[in-house]
């Protein structure tokens, strides 16, 4: 079944709409829909592109697939319209009549899927966020019609994986040097060393009015954590120092140096880096390439992103006060110099740059350095590649698609709230079906410190093949209003005394013992995810390995094995 027609509408700021021309090109089971840039002569808030062949009715079999790792069934939903976000510029759906995978191939960083439920009818379509700017490139979406064994959510994800492999992504097995191999086979441990208050009592900080910094873990204590890890038999761990820089976490970006004196200063940090190397542990640090605070000794509005009215773009307030979003083109020299400094200090491993893979691509309207979202991605990825070349690899907070050609590890693929969305009827590893074997990841913000939480939390790590990820002092937000929370949960690793240190090391050690056997799956593609019974799923990998996860209260028999209640088991090929 191919497209016969498609419709596109430009939505004006006042809500009125104009119909736009769509050109369709069919090639077998693939149809490409294009809105030519030359045909868009108005400044629309956004442009919707709608296929003709997908509408589902209340009660029909099937589902809508979103890049947020969710399935939405065609039943029980009130009228709504919901954007699916920018994790991947793809979506899909299955009905009794059709199954398709759709993804943007031009202006892809401006596109998100949208689900619309109205009067018992369900649709999903592409929305290009043009932001009242006339586009300078075509808007284009490919629709792949899937049949047979490919006509389900696993097949939809595999189809998108094919595209990503043809578009710059390289499997871990083909590019794994010493550092990436260590990343894939190690547990990840972030240690927040120091921070100023969040929420901040001072939004525009200066050296004179800067709030005091809390010291949680100095460099000497980090070394003691490493000693305890080694004594427990944890052979491979990648430690990431958060808040090692001047005035701690989000202290004075883009200023990183001098190394925070209260933690041990440069001398203490160099000694710690040497210690980690002698113990065969990877040691990296957390930096930032998107935000700036006025307190920084290098702050300038000249390199900030400008809104369409010419004002510097704000990003909210954190430890350093009010953040201003930086333009990757204008601020690039500062970030490249920081990478030089980090290499000189001796950091080596999968370097962490905050936020850049968990925010949508941005526009800059500064006439001195204007950027489309596509250009923002280009310059941001140049910053990432520079860090990888100088330090060894690159990681960040999330797993948004625009960084997927360079990203080695993502701290979480989705935030926990996605699982509780009204349109989430099933939570399944769509992202992992695309990217397992290409990028290592931790499934969600929920699964940080998973072994400290309820037993079922770690089932998600096994089901989604997560790299076990831990955080010392993940709880640092102190907001009695409840407007801000600790988004990685309340379970935390701490090390204020021997008992806390021993408890944390045991939590990591138990998971490391399990992960030593499972880490080989980081080099495989996740081929299928199947719901085999209520509360029981099977995950199949390209090497033939199968993992069963049983969330029921009784044992489940599969492949000649019993998967105990509330547990999971690997069946090797």
CATH code: domain of residue 566: 2.60.40
Order the strands of the 23-27 sheet from edge to edge. 23-27, 30-35, 139-145, 99-106, 90-94, 63-66, 70-73, 426-427
Is-contact 221 166, C-beta < 8 A? no
At 114, give phi and psi (nearest 5°): -135, 130
Closest Cα to residue 410, out of 346, 454, 359?
359
CB atoms within 10 A of CB 481: 6
Domain that holds residue 545: 528-571
For residue 94, the cross-strand partners are 63, 99
pLDDT in tens, 397-413: 999 999 999 999 999 99
Residue 172 counted as domain residue: no
Closest Cα to residue 374, out of 157, 89, 564?
89
Closest Cα to residue 346, out of 297, 303, 392?
392
Whether the per-residue pLDDT at 1 is higher than 60: the answer is no
As a whole number of angstroms, the distance between CA 74 and CA 59 comes to: 6
pLDDT in tens, 351-399: 999 999 999 999 999 999 999 999 999 999 999 999 999 999 999 999 9
As a whole number of angstroms, the distance between CA 126 and CA 159 comes to: 17
As a whole number of angstroms, the distance between CA 189 and CA 243 comes to: 14
Residues belonging to the chain: 573
- For the ranges 50-64, 261-275, 427-441, the lowest mean pLDDT is seen at 50-64
Going from the C-alpha of 85 to that of each of 55, 95, 288, 446, 517, the distances in angstroms are 21, 23, 23, 19, 34
CB atoms within 10 A of CB 201: 10
What is the average pLDDT score of the chain? 95
Whether the per-residue pLDDT at 54 is higher than 90: the answer is no
In this structure, the answer to whether residues 76 and 156 fall within a common structural domain is: yes
How far is residue 73 CA from its own chain's centroid? 25
In this structure, the answer to whether residues 356 and 455 fall within a common structural domain is: yes
Residue 322 counted as domain residue: no
In this structure, the answer to whether residues 133 and 183 fall within a common structural domain is: no
Whether the per-residue pLDDT at 207 is higher than 80: the answer is yes
The band of 4, judged by pLDDT with boundaries at 50, 70 and 90, is: low
As a whole number of angstroms, the distance between CA 17 and CA 395 comes to: 41
In this structure, the answer to whether residues 506 and 535 fall within a common structural domain is: no
Tokens representing residue 196 in the block: 């100023």
**Residue 108 DSSP symbol:** G
CB atoms within 10 A of CB 477: 16
In this structure, the answer to whether residues 157 and 69 fall within a common structural domain is: yes
CATH number at residue 493: 3.20.20.80
* Positions of E strands within 136-232: 139-145, 187-192, 194-195, 214-215
Residue 292 counted as domain residue: no
Give the residue-averaged pLDDT of 108-135.
Answer: 96
**Residue 116 DSSP symbol:** E
Tokens representing residue 299 in the block: 């702050």
**Residue 239 DSSP symbol:** E
Residue 317 counted as domain residue: no
Closest Cα to residue 6, out of 85, 155, 123, 174?
123
Determine the pLDDT at residue 3.
Answer: 56
Is-contact 445 477, C-beta < 8 A? no
In this structure, the answer to whether residues 13 and 65 fall within a common structural domain is: yes
Give the residue-averaged pLDDT of 35-53.
Answer: 93
> Which three-class secondary structure state does DSSP give residue 74?
coil
As a whole number of angstroms, the distance between CA 351 and CA 190 comes to: 12
Whether the per-residue pLDDT at 2 is higher than 70: the answer is no
pLDDT in tens, 70-121: 999 999 999 999 999 999 999 999 999 999 999 999 999 999 999 999 999 9
- For the ranges 300-304, 417-421, 527-531, the lowest mean pLDDT is seen at 417-421
Order the strands of the 469-472 sheet from edge to edge. 440-441, 409-410, 392-396, 349-354, 282-288, 237-242, 187-192, 469-472
In this structure, the answer to whether residues 77 and 92 fall within a common structural domain is: yes
For residue 20, the cross-strand partners are 8
CB atoms within 10 A of CB 90: 29
As a whole number of angstroms, the distance between CA 493 and CA 470 comes to: 8
Residues 6+ apart with CB under 8 A from 376: 109, 327, 328, 361, 362, 363, 364
Determine the pLDDT at residue 451.
Answer: 94
Of 523, 540, 558, which residue sits at a domain end? Answer: 523
In this structure, the answer to whether residues 533 and 475 fall within a common structural domain is: no
In this structure, the answer to whether residues 335 and 216 fall within a common structural domain is: yes
In this structure, the answer to whether residues 110 and 158 fall within a common structural domain is: yes
Residue 188 counted as domain residue: yes
In this structure, the answer to whether residues 212 and 158 fall within a common structural domain is: no
Round to the nearest angstrom and report the end-to-end CA distance of the chain.
37
Residue 170 counted as domain residue: no
Look at the chain and report how many structural domains it folds into: 3
Whether the per-residue pLDDT at 242 is higher than 80: the answer is yes
Residue 316 counted as domain residue: no
For residue 338, the cross-strand partners are none
The band of 52, judged by pLDDT with boundaries at 50, 70 and 90, is: confident
**Residue 311 DSSP symbol:** P
Is-contact 353 331, C-beta < 8 A? no
Closest Cα to residue 33, out of 111, 109, 95?
111
> Scanning the structure block, which residue is given the tokens 């958060």?
242
In this structure, the answer to whether residues 161 and 254 fall within a common structural domain is: no
pLDDT in tens, 470-487: 999 999 998 877 777 888
As a whole number of angstroms, the distance between CA 445 and CA 258 comes to: 31
CB atoms within 10 A of CB 505: 21
Residue 119 counted as domain residue: yes
- For the ranges 46-55, 220-229, 333-342, 551-560, the lowest mean pLDDT is seen at 46-55
How far is residue 415 CA from its own chain's centroid? 9
Q: DSSP labels for 13-25?
A: TTS-EEEE--EEE
**Crossing angle, helix 328-345 and helix 265-278, to 10 degrees?**
70
Burial level of 38, CB count in 10 A (0-12/13-18/19+)? Answer: exposed
Closest Cα to residue 466, out of 490, 448, 492, 487?
448
């Amino acid at each position: 079944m191919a497209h016969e027609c498609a419709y596109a509408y430009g939505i004006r700021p006042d809500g009125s709409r104009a119909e736009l021309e769509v050109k369709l090109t069919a090639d077998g089971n693939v149809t490409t829909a294009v809105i030519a840039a030359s045909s868009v002569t108005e400044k629309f808030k956004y442009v919707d592109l709608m296929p003709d062949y997908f509408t589902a009715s209340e009660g029909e079999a099937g589902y809508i697939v979103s890049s947020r790792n969710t399935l939405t069934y065609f039943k029980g939903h009130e009228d709504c319209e919901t954007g699916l976000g920018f994790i991947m510029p793809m979506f899909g759906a299955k009905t009794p009549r059709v199954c398709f995978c759709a993804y943007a191939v031009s202006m892809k960083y401006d596109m998100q899927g949208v689900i619309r439920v109205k009067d018992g009818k369900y649709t999903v379509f592409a929305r290009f966020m043009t932001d009242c700017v006339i586009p300078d490139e075509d808007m284009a979406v490919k629709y792949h019609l899937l049949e047979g064994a490919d006509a389900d959510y696993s097949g939809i994800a595999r189809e998108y994986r094919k595209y990503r492999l043809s578009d710059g992504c390289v499997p871990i097995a083909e590019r794994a040097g010493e550092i990436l191999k260590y990343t894939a086979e190690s547990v990840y441990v972030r240690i927040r060393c120091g921070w100023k208050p969040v929420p901040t009592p001072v939004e525009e900080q200066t050296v004179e009015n800067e709030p005091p910094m809390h010291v949680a873990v100095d460099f000497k204590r980090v070394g003691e954590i490493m000693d305890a890890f080694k004594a427990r038999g944890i052979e491979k761990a990648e430690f990431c120092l958060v808040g090692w820089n001047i005035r701690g976490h989000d202290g004075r970006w883009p200023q990183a140096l001098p190394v925070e004196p209260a933690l041990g200063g440069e001398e203490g940090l160099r000694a710690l880096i040497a210690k980690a190397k002698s113990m065969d542990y990877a040691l990296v640090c957390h930096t930032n390439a998107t935000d700036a605070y006025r307190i920084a000794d290098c702050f300038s509005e000249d390199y900030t992103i400008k809104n369409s009215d010419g004002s510097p773009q704000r990003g909210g307030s954190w430890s350093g006060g009010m953040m201003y979003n930086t333009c990757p083109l204008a601020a690039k020299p500062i970030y490249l110099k920081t990478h030089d400094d980090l290499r000189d200090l001796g950091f080596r491993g999968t370097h962490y740059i905050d936020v850049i893979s968990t925010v949508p691509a941005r526009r800059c309207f500064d006439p001195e350095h204007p950027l489309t979202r596509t250009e923002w991605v280009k310059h941001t990825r140049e910053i990432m590649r520079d860090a990888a070349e100088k330090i060894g690899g690159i990681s960040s907070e999330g797993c948004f698609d625009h960084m997927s050609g360079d990203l080695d590890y993502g701290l979480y693929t989705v935030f926990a709230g996605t699982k509780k969305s009204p349109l989430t009827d099933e939570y399944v590893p769509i992202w992992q079906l695309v990217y397992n074997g290409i990028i290592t990841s931790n499934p969600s913000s929920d699964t940080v410190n998973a072994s400290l939480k309820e037993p079922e939390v770690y089932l998600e790590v096994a089901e989604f093949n997560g790299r076990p990820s831990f955080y010392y002092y993940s709880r640092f937000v102190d907001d009695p209003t409840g407007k801000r929370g600790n988004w990685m949960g309340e379970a935390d690793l701490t090390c204020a005394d021997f008992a806390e240190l021993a408890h944390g090391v045991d939590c990591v050690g138990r998971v490391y013992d399990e992960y030593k056997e499972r880490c080989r799956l980081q080099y495989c593609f996740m081929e299928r995810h199947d719901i085999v019974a209520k509360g029981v799923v099977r995950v199949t990998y390209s090497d033939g390995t199968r993992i069963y996860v049983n969330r029921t209260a009784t044992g489940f028999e599969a492949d000649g094995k019993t998967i105990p209640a509330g547990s999971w088991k690997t069946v090797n090929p």
